[in-house]
Structure 1
Amino acid sequence: MVENGSLIRPGMKVALVPCPALGDTTLFLWLAWRLQAAGVEVSLYSTALISLRGYLPGLAILGSQYDLEELSRSNDLVICALKRFDEGSASEHSNVAYLASKKFSSDHPLARRQVFIRDNILPGGNNVICRDSRAGKTMAQWIDVYANEVLGLDVGSAPAGFQSLPASSEDAKRRIAIFPTSPNANKNYSPRGFRRLADKLVSKGWVIEFVGTVPEQAALQSLYPNYIVHAFVNLKGLVDYLRSCSVVISNDSGGGHIASLLGLHTFTITRRRVDFSWRPGFNSLNHVINPSITFKWLGRPIWRPFISHRRLIRGLPKW
């Protein structure tokens, strides 16, 4: 068996297959950059990232459709999100590894299945990203743990990141983008709370704009009639727009992760702990705003009235 550090070598081919969710996709993109820095030929299977090909030189960005047998045959290693796991087909391909967000059970087929790369065992190839949700690490830090301890990659410096981005606009420092929705409505801050926060920020000289998906845009515009509400048909439109911003305020959602990848200040409003693992963590400018108290009423958690706008405003950059 060869040590992990010597298993990943320049010229190797590695395919990455994330889940469609934007937060998961950003983690696999981060891992792709780590592999790329080691001289690996990386293909990343994500429909969402196709529009960003021009900003991701050297990475082969392909759609979400793939054939596992072909990937296994044409790559030295394939790393898939656990949700892509199919026991029937995965058992036949020894160079396919799976990553779960959190622990999978000890009786899961992957718990006893070894991963090989060029006929050498890759210890820990099947693994979890977040090994300890109480450790305080972000998911970006956890993916670096996997990259370093399992794949033997150097994670001592930031990866190259996006390239050839549009220039940041002259008024970017004044603009804050608010993402008031997420796929899980139960974890969203209230529209009224976001509206009050936006009004306070405007009174302090900030330019506030809202961002949602295309199907949400009309409803969001009615909720925030005094503000511009943006919606973009692809991720490139969103990235280009965020180049005109310096801060993103969001629920626990993909918008915060993209903003973090772009180096922006992020404020995540959530009822979870300030060090919860899924907070944006691709740079150090991340802040979590959680409630001062939480209680249950008729079985439902009550937390939204106890979000401190003052604490968020105090954390904003002082340009």
Structure 2
Amino acid sequence: MDTQQDTTTARIALVSFNSLGDSLIYYMLAENLRQHGYEMTLYGDIAYQLREWMPQIPVRPYPDFNALDRELSQYHHAIISPPQALRQRLNGEFLEHVRSHWQLLCQKAPPTWASEQLKHERQRVLPGKIFSQLAPLLDCGPSIRFKKFNDGSSLVDVVVAFMRERMKLTHAQGNVHLTPPPHLVYQRYPRRIIISPDSAWSDKKDWTPASFIKTARLLQQRGYQPVFTVAPVSHEKWDVILKGEFEHAKFNDIHQLASFVYESGAFIGNDSGGGHLASMLRVPVVTIYRKRNRQFCWRPAWGKGTVVVPRLVLPWFKGGIWRAFIRPADILLALESLLENQDKTLISGKDSS
């Protein structure tokens, strides 16, 4: 470690997992650590696309995983939720090296990620004042779900409990925000409703394209402006599906998507990262979920949202039959109820998100 850079404040690198939802969760973690006095740097390719929205934290793309020692040596401590490319290599001598030098962390970590050596190693190489700042963090991993949580707890609730109880961040909170660029206006287009019909697990999570299109037609009949948006890899596929009937907004990075979401009235989508982004931007979210559990842990939980579930699930088939038991009218009803409640909350001046 470069002792010439030692200061009185502990410097921490946080390396995020590589999905959009996880990236926002780890941004929340980094921001809480920053608010508790640590000097934070966040690593992640998705977070880097959103760096303009995180001006209070230095954000960098993933380092060369073949040179982690060199990159992370500039920090007093590193917390790593290994991206897939790194996770595949965590075995044998490399795993032993990583867990003895840095803190591995994820929702449900394998027992092999735990290390009794890390704290001793940090104490051996760090100045006493820096080690005392870091000591509460060094016993907290490697699983964020460190205990049984009540049914209905969101992942935001789980992470906040982890930060308070395990990391000893006494004032930890889930109420963190992204900072929009100054030229953007929150919900500038309140009748524009984003429809995001894809996800990373299309076979398991995605409602049918036909149902999304029927929902868009209902929205249009009610005076809304439905706009479809999907991941770049699905642009051509959805051009064919939409046949020009509805606007298809195409973005090549998360910054562009965030700007569009921030100025829209609401977001409708499958259980996917886009819903978490909208939620952190405090844009109302309607999530379509394949199981009969409106309070599932990974629901968007920063802003106002609602979850639509099937009336029935037939579990005897691979993946379960559920799509037919959610109607487009269910989505419209959920959206309008959510927007009505939002309007009443804002008028009453009680919005706390």
* Bin for the TM-score computed over the shorter chain: 0.7 to 0.9
Letter in 2 for 1:109: T
> 1:277 — aligned with what?
297
Instruction: Please give the alpha-carbon distance, in whole angstroms, between the structure 1 residues aligned to 2:174 and 2:269.
Output: 27
Task: Give the Cα separation in 2 of the matches to 1:286 and 1:43.
Answer: 30
Residue 96 to residue 170, structure 1, CA distance change in 2 (3 Å): closer
Give, in whole Å, the separation in 2 of the partners of 1:115 and 1:277. 31
1:205 to 216, 223, 229: 223
CA RMSD of aligned residues (A): 2.5
Give the letter for the 1:33 counterpart.
E
How big is each residue's C-alpha offset from its partner over 1:31-76, in whole Å with a ceiling of 9 and x where there is no partner?
A: 1111121232211111122232222113121111243323553222
Residue in 1 that maps onto 2:107: 101
Residue 254 of structure 2 aligns with an amino acid whose one-letter code is: L
Partner of 2:158: 142
- Alignment-derived partner of residue 31 in structure 1: 29
> Structure 1 residues 41 and 303 mapped into 2: Cα distance closer, same or farther (>3 Å)?
same
Paired residue secondary structure (1:183): coil
Q: Which residue of 2 aligns with 1:81?
A: 81
Is the counterpart of residue 168 in structure 1 residue 216 in structure 2?
no
Displacement of 1:115 = 4.1
Question: Which protein shows a greater Rg?
Answer: 2
| Residues 1-319 of structure 1: pairs in structure 2 closer than 5 A | 11-66=9-64, 67-82=67-82, 84-85=86-87, 86-87=90-91, 88-92=93-97, 94-102=100-108, 104=110, 108-111=111-114, 113=116, 115-116=118-119, 118-119=122-123, 120=135, 122-129=138-145, 131-132=147-148, 135-153=151-169, 154-156=171-173, 158-168=175-185, 171-186=188-203, 187-224=205-242, 225-272=244-291, 273-283=293-303, 285-296=304-315, 298-316=317-335, 317-318=339-340, 319=343
TM-score between both structures, scaled by the size of structure 1: 0.86
Identity of aligned residues (%): 23
Q: Which deviates further from its counterpart, 252-261 or 154-163? A: 154-163
From the superposition, tell whether residues 206 and 257 of structure 1 become closer, same or farther in structure 2 (CA, over 3 Å). Answer: same
Larger displacement relative to structure 2 (178-187 or 66-75): 66-75
Q: Do the aligned partners of 1:115 and 1:125 also contact (CA within 8 Å) in 2?
A: no
- Tell which deviates more after alignment, 206-215 or 217-226: 217-226
Q: Distance in 1 between matches of 2:40 and 2:333?
A: 42
Greater per-residue strand proportion: 1
Residues 292, 157 of structure 1: alpha-carbon distance in 2 compared, 3 angstrom cutoff: closer
Q: For 2:286, what is the secondary structure of its paired residue?
A: strand
* Contact residue 247 and residue 265 of structure 1 kept, 8 A: yes
Aligned residues: 307
Instruction: List alignment gaps of at least 5 residues for structure 1.
Output: 1-8
Output the CA distance in 1 between the equivalents of 2:186 and 2:152: 34
